[in-house]
Structure 1
């Protein structure tokens, strides 16, 4: 059936363009025969179009770009048709339909005649005419357009013009393709110019107007290029790296994020920032796994600003454990809490087996109250480092039993069941040691008890994306209200735990939404510090998680792309920010253990 351009109404064109643009881009494995394992690598990578250049010689279709590179045995049959049939018959791989794009390097009609002979034994690959496993799409030296209809199913064609579009046999055209170099000399690094981008979009729109997908060949072959071409609406991304491009484009929607929860930030007064006066209270906020990339991504997604990034005194800390280059939260939490390096998995326990003296214990002897707030379970590695002394972070029963004996005056977090599930009701032990267990944050804030606790959940708390809203902010605010009523100096540790979870799971939404939530808690701490005038606020992380980089984004859309190099922690230094009296002492690059030392040094004037 033939169609003329004029037959396409505006409405039909709109819906065709919308339908094609809404589809995920597909991978076209260019010069696939040059891969170490032709066909199989592209097929395993999920390529929806696989290209083979063919040369007709002595009644055989050899797979090669020119005659000089022909190798015995490397034919269209051996490298493609036989493996494809095997994949189909044995049910190997994804079993999703794809195109075999056969690029004729020799005269069109004789090469086509041989192709038709070669594919005859493989009818099983296209027995389903509505949805064949393979479509044979002829490119390169093709027969004349008016002859397309002469060739039977499953033969289709790669049309290579967007100017000669009258009377096209659209039912035989599978896609439109053009050379990228006709429109741009961009090398795939940095940003393509607006002018070139507009040139490139025009042929795509013409192809989509005919209801056909589009491909550029000879494109730059990089992640930046793949993303840009995808955003322009290219349907088949040309690449010689299908094993890299496939996973990259498939994961891109999950790694490209725009937050629906842009929050207002708090702008500190800086009246007491960095002045050499007494420090009465210390608030230490720890974003678990919150490295510089996580912080950057959260800032860009939150309209390019955070409360944290308003702060002026900042440094970097090294996070290595006593026994490993890459720390876990237990060793890192112990280093922050005690000023001593610990082995991974150790919670408040030093390498020689002795108990580490943590900040709450040290400060109690000087008249300080202390507390911990976390979005993790109370027995989680980071909060536990501020009250427990155990050689293994998984000793939950023992960690829970350490809490009543600790010097803490306040705790807020999840995981009440950790105090119930081992045969002994440790909540009774908590009460016996003077803890009043509040039923709400409001009750805790107004409590006159010398020791208070609030279990925010029986098991783990949900993530922000699962419905938890402003918990960390409200818990911080309630804790500060409680301590203010006691008229004593205090130390408070606040942990945002799920930034780390997002890094482990490669969940960009979790990293950013938990990062924004953590920033709201930081804002509460800074508000208090501005009102009080004698409060030092420190914001840092225990380690970085995910090995994250930020290759692309869009500030106007508050959109950011994250890439991950690992599912684990890394040894990358993490930022530390400080605000209030003596906050300038936190500048520089130093070990995580120095946080403890700097806090002690900052309160020495108050202790005199």
Structure 2
């Protein structure tokens, strides 16, 4: 009867605290990180504290009236006391960081009575910082390791709580003294931290976690593998405290987690092509070359996952891979990458429209115009940037934007769509470039809506930056609408057309290591590809090619849920990588683009179809 009354009394407290605990673990931040055996790293306390960890652990022995920090007693030293390594620097930090919250786990290695007596004595000067019932503070003290029996716990001050490895045998008063529940992971699973837990292991762990949460306490597991896969598994299960010996790695992982994950509540519809002309060898009249700047397989699959398992690009059946190295580097930049498929030559990084010796090259836009085709150059960036200008400019240095802008005067491309109005106000022989373009018969347009409505045959559309701002900043359906406008303008031309359309800002997301930006830009690009596929089906003589100049960011996909549209990734660099990029093709002669080949072969394959 006595035990029954204890359970009834405990229930209201359990429910209230459990709801609070569960709300605190979503989302995960570095405050959920615990520095296990913190004293073993080269800079105790400071590394974990400065990284933002919410929990730090120190093992102590009572030696000659002092608390000395060590894993084994033989390693204790007078200079390595709890006060020197933790309490004094912590108090100094909290003076200047009054909003910081920290849990200090003090592990009793032996003789709990001696250790706890010294803890009460040594922490007395830090009372203003320590949390206790009715006195919220910055610092929570949790005793772990060789803790006293439950019946003794209530004899210690309210600000001392204990870490236990079981839930049974506590009275409500004793349970109030429990600050954390810690289980060895090996009690439930045998796992090396690689791959994933199976359903039975998940069920066992979830049962333990739920029982602790239902009892109103927070949980951690020790002896858990110290890997990203393990951290993720514990977070998926709702473990409150994630322990590690890898302070920088876990800290960076959690600090970047919000930026490295993306969830799409609703999928956008994709176009399902008919494939009626796909792979045939009939004559190609029109070519749409879609360039996803910085788009690799990981970027594509992340977008596929976020869109709940569908992608326009993945409707294309003929697939190859492009090897992207430049003439002078294993890893290409956009200038050399674009020159390779625009003009068919490997060139040096930073070079536009010239070979490795500086010789001017002719682009697909030039060959298309000579074949009587209409041409267009569409980008969600400056027209003087590396990919769009590779189709009209010739410079050994891609950053020379004013010289590049001037070269537009020698181009016969019919429609340009992008930004960089200021570059084109530069004067050549005393006359602004835009005025010279008007003299050549071009209509210069600044507003995107005006571009969509314009009946002009030759257009230099230099949009306001607002029209090409990042998708996450509110850009509309710029790419899809621009492509639809241009194909509509060109569709009745008897000789056909060549269009280059670039999803420029996938690359920006990779450089920024921002998964949300990568996915939203890639999704926008994919919608444009859907428009290209739709046009190809309606026309029957159009070849659509989708590829990239390089991969950006070294994106790795760590977790995801296709049903929920959720993706978690990580980046290995903020620059380009050397990994080959995919090539997708749809329409007549799409089979020509199968295989693995140098990026220059994209030019050769297209040129063969133009001539």
TM-score where L is the length of structure 2: 0.91
Indicate yes or no: 2:273 matched with 1:268.
Answer: yes
Q: Deviations over 1:63-99 (max 9, x none)?
A: 233334445643333333344345446x4x8972312
Residue 211 of structure 1: how far off its partner (Å) = 3.8
- Asked if 2 retains the 8 angstrom alpha-carbon contact of 1:46 and 1:94, the reply is no
Indicate yes or no: 2:437 matched with 1:430.
Answer: yes
Indicate yes or no: 2:495 matched with 1:488.
Answer: yes
Q: Deviations over 1:206-262 (max 9, x none)?
A: 433444322222222211111121222211112121221122123223322112452
- Asked if 2 retains the 8 angstrom alpha-carbon contact of 1:218 and 1:238, the reply is no
Q: Deviations over 1:117-143 (max 9, x none)?
A: 343455565499844343332111122
- Asked if 2 retains the 8 angstrom alpha-carbon contact of 1:506 and 1:567, the reply is yes
User: Relative to 1, partners in 2 of residues 1:459 and 1:415: Cα closer, same or farther, differing over 3 Å?
Assistant: farther
CA distance in 1 between partners of 2:173 and 2:232 (Å) = 31
Structure 2 alignment gaps of length 5 or more: none
Residue 325 of structure 1: how far off its partner (Å) = 2.0
| Aligned pair partner of 1:531 in 538, 541, 560 | 538
Q: Deviations over 1:276-329 (max 9, x none)?
A: 222222111000100111011111111212111121211111112222222221
CA distance in 1 between partners of 2:567 and 2:58 (Å) = 37
Range with greater deviation from structure 2 (459-468 or 333-342): 459-468
CA distance in 2 between partners of 1:289 and 1:5 (Å) = 59
Range with greater deviation from structure 2 (443-452 or 476-485): 443-452
Q: Deviations over 1:319-364 (max 9, x none)?
A: 1222222222122111121112222222223333332211111222
Q: What residue is the counterpart of 2:194 in the other structure?
A: 189
Q: Deviations over 1:379-419 (max 9, x none)?
A: 22211111112232222222222223201011122333432
Q: What residue is the counterpart of 2:101 in the other structure?
A: 97
| Aligned pair partner of 1:419 in 424, 435, 442 | 424
Alignment of 1:151-300 (within 5 A): 151-152=156-157, 154-300=159-305
Range with greater deviation from structure 2 (322-331 or 557-566): 322-331
- Asked if 1 retains the 8 angstrom alpha-carbon contact of 2:340 and 2:600, the reply is yes
Indicate yes or no: 2:317 matched with 1:312.
Answer: yes
User: Relative to 1, partners in 2 of residues 1:24 and 1:445: Cα closer, same or farther, differing over 3 Å?
Assistant: closer
CA distance in 1 between partners of 2:98 and 2:213 (Å) = 27
SS class of match (1:79):
helix
SS class of match (1:246):
helix
Report the aligned-residue RMSD: 2.7
User: Relative to 1, partners in 2 of residues 1:205 and 1:560: Cα closer, same or farther, differing over 3 Å?
Assistant: same
Q: What residue is the counterpart of 1:24 in the other structure?
A: 28
SS class of match (2:259):
helix
- Asked if 1 retains the 8 angstrom alpha-carbon contact of 2:150 and 2:170, the reply is no
CA distance in 2 between partners of 1:169 and 1:508 (Å) = 46
Indicate yes or no: 2:458 matched with 1:451.
Answer: yes
Range with greater deviation from structure 2 (21-30 or 536-545): 21-30
Range with greater deviation from structure 2 (397-406 or 200-209): 200-209
SS class of match (1:243):
helix
SS class of match (2:303):
helix
Range with greater deviation from structure 2 (337-346 or 474-483): 337-346
User: Relative to 1, partners in 2 of residues 1:127 and 1:582: Cα closer, same or farther, differing over 3 Å?
Assistant: closer
CA distance in 2 between partners of 1:40 and 1:80 (Å) = 9
- Asked if 2 retains the 8 angstrom alpha-carbon contact of 1:374 and 1:412, the reply is yes
Alignment of 1:486-565 (within 5 A): 486-565=493-572
Range with greater deviation from structure 2 (6-15 or 498-507): 6-15
Indicate yes or no: 2:407 matched with 1:402.
Answer: yes
- Asked if 2 retains the 8 angstrom alpha-carbon contact of 1:64 and 1:70, the reply is yes
CA distance in 2 between partners of 1:602 and 1:388 (Å) = 23
- Asked if 2 retains the 8 angstrom alpha-carbon contact of 1:373 and 1:495, the reply is yes
Residue 264 of structure 1: how far off its partner (Å) = 1.4
Count of residues in Structure 1 that have an aligned counterpart in Structure 2: 600
CA distance in 2 between partners of 1:447 and 1:252 (Å) = 45
Structure 1 alignment gaps of length 5 or more: none
Q: What residue is the counterpart of 1:40 in the other structure?
A: 46
SS class of match (1:596):
helix
- Asked if 2 retains the 8 angstrom alpha-carbon contact of 1:317 and 1:576, the reply is yes
Q: Deviations over 1:410-429 (max 9, x none)?
A: 11223334323779643222
CA distance in 1 between partners of 2:27 and 2:144 (Å) = 23
Range with greater deviation from structure 2 (296-305 or 444-453): 444-453
CA distance in 1 between partners of 2:104 and 2:75 (Å) = 21
User: Relative to 1, partners in 2 of residues 1:16 and 1:197: Cα closer, same or farther, differing over 3 Å?
Assistant: same
SS class of match (1:485):
coil
